[in-house]
Amino acid sequence: MTRVEMSGWLAGKRARIEGDSPAIIAAFQAAGATLVSDGDHDIWVHIAPPPATKLAQDLTHAEWRASLDAGLDRRFLGAKDFAEACRARGQGGAVLFIGAPEQALGADQAAAAGALGNLTKTFGVEWARDGIRVNSILTRETGDTLGKLAAYLASDYAAYVTGAVMGITLDD
Instruction: Report the CATH number that the domain containing residue 130 is assigned in CATH.
Output: 3.40.50.720
So what's the pLDDT on residue 67? 82
So what's the pLDDT on residue 102? 63
Answer for the pair 159, 120: CB distance below 8 angstroms, yes or no: no
Answer for the pair 109, 168: CB distance below 8 angstroms, yes or no: no
Q: What is the mean pLDDT of residues 112-132?
A: 94
60 within a domain of the structure (yes/no): yes
Give the span between the Cα atoms of 70 and 60, in whole angstroms: 16
* Average pLDDT value over all residues in the chain: 89
Beta bridge partners of 95: 44, 134
Identify the domain containing residue 136 by its residue range.
14-166
Binned at pLDDT 50, 70 and 90, residue 110 comes out as: confident
For the ranges 7-21, 74-88, 115-129, the lowest mean pLDDT is seen at 7-21
- Domain tally, the chain: 1
34 within a domain of the structure (yes/no): yes
Q: What is the mean pLDDT of residues 140-165?
A: 93
